[in-house]
Structure 1
């Protein structure tokens, strides 16, 4: 039996093989042409379509995120600032959030496009993709049950980014860890505390988030004064000091609204606490508070206004062994610290 008699015939659905077979009358040549020319050409076309689709999707995502970063309304990233929050305060955060969302959407788009391309390429090569898809579904379900914590971390990370709970540079309190966010990932969040320790927190373990730098912040300064001081005079001095800081060129872009003296915040047998507040830009509240305390101390010294002092209680006892008298200073919390007199 000759080779031509045992040569495989073309599949009627394979137009390229049928065309070469009719043109040359050789089934072997038709099969070789199908594998060496038709299938590689089809795979090349698939790759070109995949890269073009990926480029178009990335371009569309860039347009959406750029509009969001510029503050233009977009259906996906539209952010409505509060009435009392200036647009300049939100601009940096808006850009950061748009970039994070853009990176996430680009990654998802690339994964979807190349997954579809890979399955289509396998089908083009003649492999049965039905069992492969079914097997992938079973494996996915098994991994979902076996890696529930990982899935929880990823879903929590996606919702944190979409809901804009925090971003890079924010000062946050995540419960066990408190510090400045250095990186926000889909699985973990990295932040650094004031002592320089880097904390890695799984997104699925974050139950609540306290963000100290979102939109605006508030400087709260409590000033304890003695009962002998004139409270109206103290409040007037605090208001003058706060306005001086507000009108200072170095703080003009930091303090957002006119300072307020809220008045008496607390009363104890030893002192009266007067509170003054200033609305500031995010992450600027601590610097403003330090400046306020320095100026309040200097102004009080100049005007002779005394800050509260804890009561001093003298305790005398007969210590025949050492012959000492002990003096105890009362602290605001009621504890005493003994010191040799």
Structure 2
């Protein structure tokens, strides 16, 4: 939990503070309220960046690690490994510049190099556990592997000595397979990682029962009522082509957000089974009136069900088939003759 700390005016004219960069000095100042009452904190660049530089995305963990290296070289902080094996740091000269009235107990390990007599968090007193270095050398092993060497580790056999036939395989067939698995390097044959198989595989290769055909095999998109819409074939018009036609018809290229929005709506309309001609008509109408891209479905619907079109002329429910669709009132001279069937 952050605390309120004291910053002395001498901080900005201190020789050690002026040895580091400005960002490193800001990181050091940011560590003052984050450290506990004993001046200790986690030595983790990602954690420090999250609490000190949360709104500075350009100052990444790599830059913060560089700040910590500068602060350690200048002697402003000390980076150490605690008795729990984790990395910590403490601010050098903490008790000279910070006056804590009632310091709380630290939960972090103590730095045995600077404060060996101070209380250690995990040990609840002077630190009795110290991280021991690993007895193993870097990259070494304590003992040899009990497994025998692999085939690739065995010495290469001369090319003149063919492998002995095994099981029921004839010698000529085995020589052919061994020659195929042997490479030449400087006149010496080196056998590949596997030797020849002595018998063929008992499993026959799989054969497809029918040929593969392009396009979708699903005729109905999965609606719970019949839509009489088939899945698009391999040669159907794509949403990318329709949007390309729309962009080409514009005097200037529309913004990318508008193109992307129109592309998503166009793709959705085509997936519903709407014909490309109706979508193209809706895009053409949208190019004339413009507006928000979300109005494209209504424009496509107008193209599909416009009065006088292929999908228009539907009579109202309850009337005969000879009754045309609703017409707007035009205030004719002889209303009885014009609207004889509807009045």
TM-score band (shorter)? under 0.3
Q: Please identify which structure carries the higher strand content.
A: 1
Q: Please identify which structure carries the higher helix content.
A: 1
Larger Rg: 2
So what's the TM-score if we normalise by structure 1? Answer: 0.21
Higher RCO structure, 1 or 2 (CA under 8 Å, sep 6+): 1
